[in-house]
Chain A
Amino acid sequence: MPHVEMPTWEAFVGAWELFADPILCAVVAGAVLGFLGVFVVLRRMVFVSAVVTQSAGVGVALAFYADIHLGMHVDPLLGAAAMALAATMVLAVDATPLGLPREALLGLVFALSGGMAVLLGDRISQEAHDIESILFGSAVLVRPLDLTMVLLSGIVILVVHIWWMRGLVFASFDPDAARVQGLPVRLLNRILFLAIGVMVGVSARALGSLPVFAFSVLPATTALLLGLRLPWAFALATALGVISGAAGYLLAFFYQFPVGASQTVVASILAVLGLVVAVVRTRRSRSG
Protein backbone atom coordinates (compact mmCIF):
# COMPACT_ATOMS: atom_id res chain seq x y z
CA MET A 1 0.00 0.00 0.00
CA PRO A 2 1.55 3.32 -1.02
CA HIS A 3 2.39 5.69 1.80
CA VAL A 4 0.24 8.84 1.63
CA GLU A 5 1.59 11.79 3.55
CA MET A 6 -1.00 13.64 5.59
CA PRO A 7 -1.24 17.39 5.13
CA THR A 8 0.22 19.36 8.03
CA TRP A 9 -1.01 22.36 10.03
CA GLU A 10 1.78 24.35 8.40
CA ALA A 11 0.39 23.50 4.98
CA PHE A 12 -3.11 24.44 6.13
CA VAL A 13 -2.00 27.75 7.61
CA GLY A 14 0.15 28.45 4.55
CA ALA A 15 -2.85 28.03 2.26
CA TRP A 16 -5.28 29.80 4.62
CA GLU A 17 -6.14 32.37 2.00
CA LEU A 18 -7.50 29.55 -0.12
CA PHE A 19 -9.51 27.94 2.68
CA ALA A 20 -10.78 31.03 4.46
CA ASP A 21 -13.84 31.50 2.24
CA PRO A 22 -15.16 27.92 2.31
CA ILE A 23 -14.61 27.69 6.07
CA LEU A 24 -16.33 31.03 6.65
CA CYS A 25 -19.19 29.90 4.41
CA ALA A 26 -19.56 26.59 6.29
CA VAL A 27 -19.38 28.36 9.66
CA VAL A 28 -22.09 30.90 8.78
CA ALA A 29 -24.35 28.31 7.12
CA GLY A 30 -23.81 25.95 10.05
CA ALA A 31 -24.65 28.68 12.56
CA VAL A 32 -27.82 29.94 10.85
CA LEU A 33 -29.11 26.49 9.86
CA GLY A 34 -28.29 25.21 13.35
CA PHE A 35 -30.38 28.04 14.80
CA LEU A 36 -33.30 27.50 12.39
CA GLY A 37 -32.97 23.76 13.01
CA VAL A 38 -34.44 24.19 16.50
CA PHE A 39 -37.70 25.28 14.85
CA VAL A 40 -37.32 22.51 12.25
CA VAL A 41 -36.93 19.79 14.87
CA LEU A 42 -39.46 21.08 17.42
CA ARG A 43 -42.10 21.69 14.75
CA ARG A 44 -41.50 18.20 13.35
CA MET A 45 -40.32 19.61 10.03
CA VAL A 46 -37.24 17.41 9.59
CA PHE A 47 -38.60 15.87 6.43
CA VAL A 48 -39.48 19.37 5.20
CA SER A 49 -35.82 20.27 5.48
CA ALA A 50 -34.84 17.10 3.57
CA VAL A 51 -37.28 17.86 0.77
CA VAL A 52 -36.25 21.53 0.51
CA THR A 53 -32.54 20.65 0.34
CA GLN A 54 -33.24 18.03 -2.33
CA SER A 55 -35.25 20.59 -4.28
CA ALA A 56 -32.33 23.04 -4.06
CA GLY A 57 -30.10 20.36 -5.61
CA VAL A 58 -32.61 19.92 -8.42
CA GLY A 59 -32.58 23.69 -8.94
CA VAL A 60 -28.83 23.56 -9.56
CA ALA A 61 -29.24 20.65 -11.97
CA LEU A 62 -31.98 22.60 -13.78
CA ALA A 63 -29.61 25.55 -14.17
CA PHE A 64 -26.99 23.28 -15.75
CA TYR A 65 -29.63 21.75 -18.00
CA ALA A 66 -30.84 25.16 -19.15
CA ASP A 67 -27.24 26.18 -19.91
CA ILE A 68 -26.33 23.01 -21.83
CA HIS A 69 -29.52 22.23 -23.69
CA LEU A 70 -31.42 25.50 -23.94
CA GLY A 71 -28.51 27.92 -24.19
CA MET A 72 -29.88 29.95 -21.31
CA HIS A 73 -27.42 31.01 -18.68
CA VAL A 74 -29.06 30.64 -15.30
CA ASP A 75 -26.82 30.94 -12.29
CA PRO A 76 -27.00 27.68 -10.29
CA LEU A 77 -27.35 29.79 -7.15
CA LEU A 78 -30.55 31.27 -8.56
CA GLY A 79 -31.77 27.80 -9.55
CA ALA A 80 -31.10 26.45 -6.05
CA ALA A 81 -32.75 29.37 -4.29
CA ALA A 82 -35.76 29.39 -6.65
CA MET A 83 -36.44 25.67 -6.31
CA ALA A 84 -35.89 25.71 -2.54
CA LEU A 85 -38.33 28.60 -2.24
CA ALA A 86 -40.86 26.94 -4.54
CA ALA A 87 -40.71 23.75 -2.47
CA THR A 88 -41.00 25.77 0.73
CA MET A 89 -44.07 27.61 -0.55
CA VAL A 90 -45.77 24.36 -1.54
CA LEU A 91 -44.99 22.87 1.86
CA ALA A 92 -46.25 25.98 3.66
CA VAL A 93 -49.71 25.42 2.20
CA ASP A 94 -52.20 24.23 4.79
CA ALA A 95 -53.60 21.12 3.14
CA THR A 96 -55.92 20.19 5.99
CA PRO A 97 -59.00 21.81 4.33
CA LEU A 98 -58.36 19.34 1.50
CA GLY A 99 -58.35 16.51 4.02
CA LEU A 100 -54.60 15.99 3.59
CA PRO A 101 -51.85 16.06 6.20
CA ARG A 102 -48.66 17.95 5.33
CA GLU A 103 -46.87 14.59 4.91
CA ALA A 104 -48.84 14.00 1.71
CA LEU A 105 -47.49 17.23 0.18
CA LEU A 106 -44.02 16.32 1.40
CA GLY A 107 -44.30 12.97 -0.34
CA LEU A 108 -45.37 14.66 -3.56
CA VAL A 109 -42.52 17.19 -3.59
CA PHE A 110 -39.99 14.57 -2.48
CA ALA A 111 -40.97 12.12 -5.22
CA LEU A 112 -41.13 14.86 -7.87
CA SER A 113 -37.76 16.36 -6.99
CA GLY A 114 -36.13 12.92 -6.70
CA GLY A 115 -37.47 11.89 -10.09
CA MET A 116 -36.42 15.18 -11.67
CA ALA A 117 -32.91 14.85 -10.24
CA VAL A 118 -32.48 11.45 -11.94
CA LEU A 119 -33.97 12.64 -15.25
CA LEU A 120 -31.86 15.80 -15.32
CA GLY A 121 -28.75 13.86 -14.32
CA ASP A 122 -29.33 11.57 -17.29
CA ARG A 123 -29.33 14.54 -19.66
CA ILE A 124 -26.36 16.40 -18.23
CA SER A 125 -23.96 13.55 -17.68
CA GLN A 126 -21.03 15.78 -18.69
CA GLU A 127 -21.71 17.81 -15.55
CA ALA A 128 -22.14 14.73 -13.36
CA HIS A 129 -19.14 15.65 -11.21
CA ASP A 130 -20.54 19.10 -10.51
CA ILE A 131 -23.93 17.65 -9.70
CA GLU A 132 -22.34 15.19 -7.28
CA SER A 133 -20.48 18.08 -5.67
CA ILE A 134 -23.73 19.92 -5.22
CA LEU A 135 -25.69 16.99 -3.85
CA PHE A 136 -23.06 15.65 -1.49
CA GLY A 137 -20.91 18.70 -0.92
CA SER A 138 -17.57 17.52 -2.25
CA ALA A 139 -16.66 21.01 -3.43
CA VAL A 140 -13.55 22.28 -1.63
CA LEU A 141 -13.92 25.92 -2.63
CA VAL A 142 -16.84 28.32 -2.84
CA ARG A 143 -17.45 31.12 -5.33
CA PRO A 144 -17.31 34.68 -3.97
CA LEU A 145 -20.95 35.21 -5.04
CA ASP A 146 -22.08 32.12 -3.10
CA LEU A 147 -20.18 33.25 -0.02
CA THR A 148 -21.69 36.73 -0.24
CA MET A 149 -25.20 35.33 -0.54
CA VAL A 150 -24.71 32.95 2.40
CA LEU A 151 -23.29 35.79 4.53
CA LEU A 152 -26.00 38.31 3.64
CA SER A 153 -28.90 35.87 3.95
CA GLY A 154 -27.49 34.39 7.13
CA ILE A 155 -27.01 37.71 8.89
CA VAL A 156 -30.46 39.04 7.92
CA ILE A 157 -32.21 35.78 8.91
CA LEU A 158 -30.39 35.49 12.22
CA VAL A 159 -31.04 39.13 13.18
CA VAL A 160 -34.75 38.94 12.26
CA HIS A 161 -35.26 35.64 14.07
CA ILE A 162 -33.51 36.74 17.25
CA TRP A 163 -35.41 40.04 17.21
CA TRP A 164 -38.78 38.34 16.57
CA MET A 165 -38.01 35.28 18.69
CA ARG A 166 -40.84 35.60 21.23
CA GLY A 167 -43.48 36.02 18.53
CA LEU A 168 -42.08 33.18 16.42
CA VAL A 169 -42.02 30.79 19.36
CA PHE A 170 -45.56 31.66 20.54
CA ALA A 171 -46.94 31.47 16.99
CA SER A 172 -45.15 28.16 16.41
CA PHE A 173 -46.36 26.31 19.46
CA ASP A 174 -49.80 27.74 20.28
CA PRO A 175 -50.91 29.37 17.02
CA ASP A 176 -54.60 29.63 17.95
CA ALA A 177 -53.95 31.50 21.19
CA ALA A 178 -51.37 33.68 19.44
CA ARG A 179 -53.84 34.55 16.66
CA VAL A 180 -56.57 35.41 19.17
CA GLN A 181 -54.13 37.73 20.96
CA GLY A 182 -53.58 39.52 17.67
CA LEU A 183 -50.15 38.21 16.67
CA PRO A 184 -49.57 38.07 12.89
CA VAL A 185 -49.28 34.27 13.01
CA ARG A 186 -49.58 33.70 9.28
CA LEU A 187 -46.86 36.25 8.55
CA LEU A 188 -44.58 34.81 11.22
CA ASN A 189 -45.01 31.31 9.82
CA ARG A 190 -44.31 32.52 6.31
CA ILE A 191 -41.18 34.30 7.48
CA LEU A 192 -39.93 31.13 9.14
CA PHE A 193 -40.62 29.01 6.05
CA LEU A 194 -39.10 31.68 3.79
CA ALA A 195 -35.98 31.82 5.97
CA ILE A 196 -35.58 28.04 5.79
CA GLY A 197 -36.11 28.08 2.02
CA VAL A 198 -33.64 30.90 1.37
CA MET A 199 -30.94 29.64 3.71
CA VAL A 200 -31.19 26.07 2.45
CA GLY A 201 -31.18 27.28 -1.15
CA VAL A 202 -28.10 29.51 -0.97
CA SER A 203 -26.22 27.12 1.32
CA ALA A 204 -26.97 24.06 -0.80
CA ARG A 205 -25.44 25.77 -3.83
CA ALA A 206 -22.33 26.69 -1.89
CA LEU A 207 -21.83 23.60 0.28
CA GLY A 208 -24.02 20.81 -1.09
CA SER A 209 -27.38 19.39 -0.11
CA LEU A 210 -26.14 16.70 2.27
CA PRO A 211 -24.27 18.95 4.75
CA VAL A 212 -27.03 21.56 4.51
CA PHE A 213 -29.63 18.98 5.52
CA ALA A 214 -27.32 17.83 8.33
CA PHE A 215 -26.80 21.40 9.60
CA SER A 216 -30.55 22.03 9.62
CA VAL A 217 -31.34 18.99 11.75
CA LEU A 218 -28.41 17.57 13.72
CA PRO A 219 -27.05 20.52 15.78
CA ALA A 220 -30.58 21.29 16.97
CA THR A 221 -31.18 17.63 17.77
CA THR A 222 -27.99 17.56 19.86
CA ALA A 223 -28.89 20.76 21.71
CA LEU A 224 -32.43 19.55 22.46
CA LEU A 225 -31.15 16.15 23.63
CA LEU A 226 -29.18 17.92 26.33
CA GLY A 227 -32.45 19.10 27.89
CA LEU A 228 -31.59 22.80 27.82
CA ARG A 229 -34.16 25.57 28.01
CA LEU A 230 -35.20 26.97 24.66
CA PRO A 231 -32.95 30.07 24.56
CA TRP A 232 -29.91 27.95 25.45
CA ALA A 233 -30.95 25.30 22.94
CA PHE A 234 -30.93 27.98 20.22
CA ALA A 235 -27.49 29.22 21.34
CA LEU A 236 -25.97 25.75 21.55
CA ALA A 237 -27.46 24.62 18.22
CA THR A 238 -25.90 27.70 16.61
CA ALA A 239 -22.52 26.91 18.18
CA LEU A 240 -22.71 23.23 17.18
CA GLY A 241 -23.50 24.27 13.60
CA VAL A 242 -20.33 26.39 13.63
CA ILE A 243 -18.28 23.50 15.04
CA SER A 244 -19.70 21.01 12.51
CA GLY A 245 -18.93 23.33 9.59
CA ALA A 246 -15.37 24.17 10.65
CA ALA A 247 -14.32 20.83 12.14
CA GLY A 248 -15.80 18.98 9.17
CA TYR A 249 -13.67 21.07 6.82
CA LEU A 250 -10.54 20.36 8.86
CA LEU A 251 -11.33 16.65 8.92
CA ALA A 252 -11.70 16.70 5.15
CA PHE A 253 -8.43 18.60 4.74
CA PHE A 254 -6.27 16.47 6.99
CA TYR A 255 -7.71 13.07 6.00
CA GLN A 256 -8.50 14.04 2.42
CA PHE A 257 -12.20 13.21 2.62
CA PRO A 258 -15.03 14.88 0.74
CA VAL A 259 -15.92 18.09 2.60
CA GLY A 260 -19.72 17.80 2.81
CA ALA A 261 -19.63 14.20 4.00
CA SER A 262 -17.03 15.14 6.65
CA GLN A 263 -19.19 17.99 7.93
CA THR A 264 -22.20 15.65 8.03
CA VAL A 265 -20.25 13.00 9.94
CA VAL A 266 -18.99 15.55 12.50
CA ALA A 267 -22.54 16.83 13.08
CA SER A 268 -23.75 13.21 13.37
CA ILE A 269 -21.04 12.30 15.90
CA LEU A 270 -22.04 15.29 18.03
CA ALA A 271 -25.68 14.17 17.85
CA VAL A 272 -24.74 10.63 18.90
CA LEU A 273 -22.78 12.05 21.85
CA GLY A 274 -25.83 14.13 22.78
CA LEU A 275 -27.95 10.98 22.58
CA VAL A 276 -25.57 9.12 24.91
CA VAL A 277 -25.65 12.00 27.42
CA ALA A 278 -29.46 12.08 27.25
CA VAL A 279 -29.78 8.32 27.79
CA VAL A 280 -27.36 8.36 30.75
CA ARG A 281 -29.13 11.34 32.31
CA THR A 282 -32.57 9.75 31.88
CA ARG A 283 -31.39 6.45 33.46
CA ARG A 284 -29.80 8.29 36.38
CA SER A 285 -32.93 10.35 37.01
CA ARG A 286 -35.07 7.17 36.92
CA SER A 287 -32.79 5.24 39.27
CA GLY A 288 -32.40 8.28 41.54
Chain B
Amino acid sequence: MMIRCERLVVGHAGKPLLPSCDLEIRRGTLLMVVGRNGSGKSTFVRTVLGLMPPVSGRVVRASPEPRLSYVGQVASLDRVLPLRARDIVRWGRLGGWSFLRSRAEGTACQRAIEDAGVTPFADRPFRALSEGQKQRVVLARMLASEPDVAFLDEPTAAMDAIAEQQTIAHLSRLAHERQMAVVVISHVLGLAERFADEVLFLDRDDGVVVSGPPATVFAHPTFRRQFGGQGQGDDAPR
Protein backbone atom coordinates (compact mmCIF):
# COMPACT_ATOMS: atom_id res chain seq x y z
CA MET B 1 0.00 0.00 0.00
CA MET B 2 1.36 3.43 -0.94
CA ILE B 3 -1.59 5.60 0.07
CA ARG B 4 -4.74 4.70 2.00
CA CYS B 5 -7.88 6.83 2.22
CA GLU B 6 -9.77 6.14 5.44
CA ARG B 7 -13.40 7.32 5.47
CA LEU B 8 -12.23 10.24 3.37
CA VAL B 9 -14.81 12.90 2.58
CA VAL B 10 -13.79 15.53 0.03
CA GLY B 11 -15.42 18.87 -0.61
CA HIS B 12 -15.03 22.62 -0.64
CA ALA B 13 -15.06 24.95 2.37
CA GLY B 14 -16.12 22.16 4.71
CA LYS B 15 -19.09 21.13 2.54
CA PRO B 16 -18.97 17.48 1.44
CA LEU B 17 -19.05 16.80 -2.27
CA LEU B 18 -19.17 13.02 -2.11
CA PRO B 19 -19.87 10.29 0.45
CA SER B 20 -16.97 8.92 2.43
CA CYS B 21 -14.49 6.70 0.64
CA ASP B 22 -12.11 3.94 1.70
CA LEU B 23 -9.47 3.26 -0.90
CA GLU B 24 -5.98 1.83 -1.18
CA ILE B 25 -3.56 2.97 -3.84
CA ARG B 26 -1.14 0.09 -4.37
CA ARG B 27 2.17 -0.44 -6.10
CA GLY B 28 2.05 -1.94 -9.57
CA THR B 29 -1.51 -0.82 -10.32
CA LEU B 30 -3.10 1.62 -12.72
CA LEU B 31 -6.12 3.21 -11.05
CA MET B 32 -8.38 5.24 -13.31
CA VAL B 33 -10.75 7.77 -11.77
CA VAL B 34 -13.87 8.24 -13.88
CA GLY B 35 -17.08 10.20 -13.66
CA ARG B 36 -18.99 12.97 -15.38
CA ASN B 37 -17.81 16.58 -15.52
CA GLY B 38 -18.09 18.14 -12.07
CA SER B 39 -18.40 14.76 -10.35
CA GLY B 40 -15.52 15.56 -7.96
CA LYS B 41 -12.64 13.70 -9.65
CA SER B 42 -10.10 16.54 -9.46
CA THR B 43 -11.23 17.50 -5.96
CA PHE B 44 -10.73 13.90 -4.85
CA VAL B 45 -7.22 13.67 -6.31
CA ARG B 46 -6.20 17.10 -4.98
CA THR B 47 -7.38 16.08 -1.51
CA VAL B 48 -5.44 12.81 -1.62
CA LEU B 49 -2.35 14.82 -2.64
CA GLY B 50 -2.77 17.23 0.26
CA LEU B 51 -3.45 20.20 -2.00
CA MET B 52 -6.88 20.57 -0.39
CA PRO B 53 -7.94 19.72 3.16
CA PRO B 54 -10.38 16.83 3.58
CA VAL B 55 -13.81 17.57 5.00
CA SER B 56 -13.34 14.53 7.23
CA GLY B 57 -11.44 11.26 7.32
CA ARG B 58 -7.76 11.00 6.52
CA VAL B 59 -5.15 10.10 3.97
CA VAL B 60 -2.37 7.81 5.23
CA ARG B 61 0.89 7.47 3.33
CA ALA B 62 3.26 4.52 3.55
CA SER B 63 6.47 4.77 5.52
CA PRO B 64 9.00 5.74 4.27
CA GLU B 65 7.06 8.46 2.53
CA PRO B 66 6.52 7.58 -1.15
CA ARG B 67 7.80 9.98 -3.78
CA LEU B 68 4.82 11.67 -5.45
CA SER B 69 4.38 13.36 -8.78
CA TYR B 70 1.39 15.34 -10.07
CA VAL B 71 0.57 16.28 -13.62
CA GLY B 72 -2.28 18.77 -13.57
CA GLN B 73 -4.34 19.83 -16.54
CA VAL B 74 -1.94 21.30 -19.07
CA ALA B 75 -4.19 24.31 -19.63
CA SER B 76 -3.26 25.53 -16.15
CA LEU B 77 0.43 25.83 -17.10
CA ASP B 78 1.48 29.34 -17.96
CA ARG B 79 1.40 30.15 -21.65
CA VAL B 80 3.91 33.00 -21.65
CA LEU B 81 6.69 31.26 -19.79
CA PRO B 82 9.84 31.45 -21.96
CA LEU B 83 11.22 27.97 -21.26
CA ARG B 84 12.13 25.08 -23.53
CA ALA B 85 10.30 21.78 -23.23
CA ARG B 86 13.54 20.31 -21.84
CA ASP B 87 13.57 22.88 -19.01
CA ILE B 88 10.05 21.85 -17.94
CA VAL B 89 11.13 18.18 -17.90
CA ARG B 90 14.03 19.12 -15.59
CA TRP B 91 11.54 20.33 -12.97
CA GLY B 92 10.76 16.64 -12.46
CA ARG B 93 14.10 16.21 -10.73
CA LEU B 94 13.34 18.87 -8.13
CA GLY B 95 12.06 17.73 -4.77
CA GLY B 96 12.13 19.29 -1.32
CA TRP B 97 15.14 21.62 -1.16
CA SER B 98 17.02 19.93 -4.00
CA PHE B 99 16.73 23.12 -6.07
CA LEU B 100 19.61 24.43 -3.97
CA ARG B 101 21.97 21.73 -5.22
CA SER B 102 23.85 21.80 -8.47
CA ARG B 103 22.23 20.00 -11.38
CA ALA B 104 22.75 16.27 -11.65
CA GLU B 105 19.69 15.33 -13.59
CA GLY B 106 20.90 14.89 -17.14
CA THR B 107 20.50 11.13 -17.62
CA ALA B 108 17.07 10.74 -16.02
CA CYS B 109 15.71 13.72 -17.95
CA GLN B 110 17.12 12.55 -21.26
CA ARG B 111 15.63 9.09 -20.74
CA ALA B 112 12.26 10.63 -19.81
CA ILE B 113 12.36 12.86 -22.90
CA GLU B 114 12.97 9.81 -25.09
CA ASP B 115 10.37 7.65 -23.32
CA ALA B 116 7.64 10.27 -23.68
CA GLY B 117 8.44 10.97 -27.34
CA VAL B 118 9.52 14.56 -26.62
CA THR B 119 12.90 14.36 -28.42
CA PRO B 120 11.77 16.06 -31.68
CA PHE B 121 10.63 19.20 -29.86
CA ALA B 122 12.71 19.07 -26.64
CA ASP B 123 14.53 22.30 -27.49
CA ARG B 124 11.53 24.23 -28.74
CA PRO B 125 9.81 26.83 -26.54
CA PHE B 126 7.09 25.18 -24.44
CA ARG B 127 4.60 27.92 -25.31
CA ALA B 128 5.02 27.23 -29.04
CA LEU B 129 4.00 23.57 -28.76
CA SER B 130 0.59 22.11 -29.54
CA GLU B 131 -1.56 21.05 -26.59
CA GLY B 132 -0.83 17.38 -27.30
CA GLN B 133 2.93 18.05 -27.36
CA LYS B 134 2.65 19.98 -24.08
CA GLN B 135 0.94 16.98 -22.52
CA ARG B 136 3.85 14.80 -23.64
CA VAL B 137 6.27 17.27 -22.03
CA VAL B 138 4.52 17.18 -18.65
CA LEU B 139 4.35 13.39 -18.91
CA ALA B 140 8.11 13.41 -19.45
CA ARG B 141 8.47 15.60 -16.37
CA MET B 142 6.54 13.00 -14.39
CA LEU B 143 8.79 10.21 -15.74
CA ALA B 144 11.91 12.23 -14.90
CA SER B 145 10.80 12.48 -11.28
CA GLU B 146 10.82 8.65 -11.02
CA PRO B 147 7.92 8.70 -8.56
CA ASP B 148 6.47 5.90 -6.47
CA VAL B 149 2.99 7.28 -7.06
CA ALA B 150 2.01 9.42 -10.06
CA PHE B 151 -1.25 11.33 -10.32
CA LEU B 152 -2.31 12.59 -13.72
CA ASP B 153 -5.36 14.79 -14.33
CA GLU B 154 -6.68 14.11 -17.84
CA PRO B 155 -3.21 13.60 -19.30
CA THR B 156 -4.53 12.73 -22.76
CA ALA B 157 -7.28 15.33 -23.12
CA ALA B 158 -5.59 17.08 -26.07
CA MET B 159 -4.20 13.98 -27.76
CA ASP B 160 -5.54 12.17 -30.81
CA ALA B 161 -7.03 8.71 -30.29
CA ILE B 162 -3.83 6.85 -31.18
CA ALA B 163 -1.59 8.96 -28.94
CA GLU B 164 -4.19 8.65 -26.18
CA GLN B 165 -4.17 4.86 -26.33
CA GLN B 166 -0.37 4.75 -26.52
CA THR B 167 -0.09 7.03 -23.48
CA ILE B 168 -2.49 5.03 -21.31
CA ALA B 169 -0.79 1.80 -22.42
CA HIS B 170 2.57 3.38 -21.50
CA LEU B 171 1.26 4.36 -18.07
CA SER B 172 -0.04 0.83 -17.55
CA ARG B 173 3.38 -0.59 -18.46
CA LEU B 174 5.06 1.86 -16.08
CA ALA B 175 2.81 0.75 -13.26
CA HIS B 176 3.56 -2.91 -13.84
CA GLU B 177 7.23 -2.81 -14.86
CA ARG B 178 8.46 -0.15 -12.43
CA GLN B 179 6.05 -1.18 -9.67
CA MET B 180 4.67 2.33 -9.47
CA ALA B 181 1.15 3.30 -8.50
CA VAL B 182 -0.40 5.37 -11.29
CA VAL B 183 -3.64 7.28 -10.76
CA VAL B 184 -5.22 8.75 -13.89
CA ILE B 185 -8.31 10.93 -14.15
CA SER B 186 -9.87 10.16 -17.50
CA HIS B 187 -13.09 10.28 -19.48
CA VAL B 188 -12.02 7.44 -21.74
CA LEU B 189 -13.98 4.49 -20.41
CA GLY B 190 -12.91 2.17 -23.22
CA LEU B 191 -9.28 2.59 -22.21
CA ALA B 192 -10.17 2.21 -18.55
CA GLU B 193 -11.76 -1.14 -19.28
CA ARG B 194 -8.75 -2.25 -21.31
CA PHE B 195 -5.83 -0.97 -19.24
CA ALA B 196 -6.94 -0.10 -15.70
CA ASP B 197 -6.34 -2.55 -12.88
CA GLU B 198 -8.85 -0.67 -10.78
CA VAL B 199 -11.45 2.00 -11.42
CA LEU B 200 -12.82 4.59 -9.04
CA PHE B 201 -16.21 5.89 -10.17
CA LEU B 202 -17.45 9.12 -8.61
CA ASP B 203 -20.86 10.68 -8.99
CA ARG B 204 -21.76 13.78 -7.08
CA ASP B 205 -25.44 13.91 -8.13
CA ASP B 206 -26.29 10.41 -6.94
CA GLY B 207 -23.76 10.46 -4.09
CA VAL B 208 -21.90 7.42 -5.37
CA VAL B 209 -18.29 6.39 -4.79
CA VAL B 210 -17.45 2.92 -6.10
CA SER B 211 -14.07 1.34 -6.58
CA GLY B 212 -12.84 -2.04 -7.75
CA PRO B 213 -11.96 -3.92 -10.92
CA PRO B 214 -13.36 -2.29 -14.09
CA ALA B 215 -15.99 -4.98 -14.67
CA THR B 216 -17.37 -4.58 -11.15
CA VAL B 217 -17.52 -0.79 -11.30
CA PHE B 218 -19.03 -0.72 -14.79
CA ALA B 219 -21.80 -3.05 -13.58
CA HIS B 220 -22.86 -0.60 -10.86
CA PRO B 221 -26.48 0.54 -11.42
CA THR B 222 -25.63 4.26 -11.30
CA PHE B 223 -22.83 3.78 -13.79
CA ARG B 224 -25.06 1.77 -16.10
CA ARG B 225 -27.87 4.30 -15.84
CA GLN B 226 -25.57 7.19 -16.65
CA PHE B 227 -23.48 5.69 -19.37
CA GLY B 228 -25.66 2.85 -20.67
CA GLY B 229 -22.99 0.63 -22.14
CA GLN B 230 -19.46 1.92 -21.97
CA GLY B 231 -18.88 4.91 -24.17
CA GLN B 232 -22.49 5.29 -25.21
CA GLY B 233 -23.70 7.79 -22.67
CA ASP B 234 -24.61 11.41 -23.29
CA ASP B 235 -21.70 12.86 -21.44
CA ALA B 236 -19.10 11.70 -23.90
CA PRO B 237 -16.92 9.28 -22.01
CA ARG B 238 -15.52 7.15 -24.81
Contacts and interface: CB of A to CB of B under 8 A. Distances in A.
Given A181-B92, A230-B82, 9 more contacts: A42-B78, A176-B46, A177-B70, A177-B141, A179-B51, A180-B50, A181-B95, A183-B96, A224-B82
Contact of A173 (B46, B49, B77, B141): B77
B59 interface: no
A19 interface: no
B69 A180 contact: yes
Nearest to B81: A173
Contacts of B94: 166-167, 170, 178, 181, 183
Contacts of B84: 229
B82 A177 contact: no
Contacts of A72: none
A233 B99 contact: no
A177 to B, nearest CB: 5
B154 interface: no
A167 B13 contact: no
B87 A230 contact: yes
Nearest to B84: A229
Contacts of B151: 180
B81 A42 contact: yes
Given A167-B100, A174-B91, A176-B72, A227 B82 contact: yes
A181 B82 contact: no
Interface in A171-189: 173-174, 176-184
Contact of A174 (B49, B77, B82, B96): B77
Contacts, number: 82
Interface residues of B, number: 32
B82 A229 contact: yes
A97 B14 CA distance: 11
Nearest to A43: B78
Contact of B100 (A164, A174, A177, A181): A164
Interface residues of A, number: 26
29 contacts: A42-B78, A163-B100, A165-B99, A166-B91, A167-B94, A167-B100, A170-B91, A170-B94, A173-B77, A174-B72, A174-B91, A176-B51, A178-B94, A180-B50, A180-B69, A180-B70, A180-B151, A181-B68, A181-B92, A181-B96, A182-B95, A183-B96, A183-B97, A184-B96, A227-B82, A228-B82, A229-B83, A230-B82, A230-B87
Contacts of B97: 167, 183-184
A228 B76 CA distance: 22
A225 to B, nearest CB: 11
B180 to A, nearest CB: 15
B2 interface: no
Given A163-B100, A228-B82, A229-B84, A183 B95 contact: yes
Nearest to B83: A230
B162 interface: no
B69 to A, nearest CB: 7
